[in-house]
Homo-oligomer: A and B are copies of this chain.
Amino acid sequence: VSRLLSIGEFSKVTHLTVKTLRHYHERGLLIPARIDAQTGYRYYDDCAIERAAVIAALKDLEVPLDDILEILAACSDDDDALEFLERQRERIRERLEKLKRVNTSLDRIITTQREARNLMIHQEVVEQQISSFLIAAIRVRGSFDQVGDIYKRLGRAIGFGLSGSPGMLVYDEEYRPGDSDFEPYFPIKDLKEAKREKIIAQGISVREIAGGRALTLIHCGPYDKVSPTYAKLFQAARTRNLNVRLPTREVYIKGPGMIFKGNPENYVTEVQMLVEEARDEATAVPPGQL
Contacts and interface: CB of A to CB of B under 8 A. Distances in A.
B93 A103 contact: yes
* Chain A binding surface, main DSSP class: helix
Contacts of A107: 89
A143 interface: no
A27 to B, nearest CB: 19
Interface stretch (A214-222, A241-249, A260-268): A260-268
A62 B110 contact: no
Contacts of A85: 106, 109-110
Contacts of A79: 113, 116-117, 254, 257, 262
Contacts of A60: 102, 105
Interface residues of A, number: 46
A109 B77 CA distance: 11
B96 A110 contact: no
Contacts of A261: 50
A126 interface: no
How many copies the complex holds: the figure is: 2
B89 A95 contact: no
Nearest to A100: B96
A75 B261 CA distance: 11
Contacts of A96: 96, 99-100, 103
Contacts of A54: 259-260
A163 to B, nearest CB: 18
B260 A75 contact: yes
A263 B78 CA distance: 10
A116 B112 CA distance: 50
A165 interface: no
A31 interface: no
A157 interface: no
A175 B259 CA distance: 72
A261 B75 CA distance: 11
A131 interface: no
A86 interface: yes
Nearest to A72: B260
A92 B99 CA distance: 7
B77 A263 contact: yes
Contacts of A112: 78
Interface in A144-177: none
Given A88-B106, A93-B103, A103-B89, A81 B50 contact: no
Q: Which 10 A-B pairs have the closest CB atoms?
A: A78-B257, A77-B262, A89-B106, A57-B259, A79-B113, A96-B99, A77-B260, A92-B103, A78-B259, A92-B102
Given A82-B114, A89-B106, A89-B107, 6 more contacts: A77-B262, A79-B113, A85-B110, A89-B103, A89-B110, A92-B102
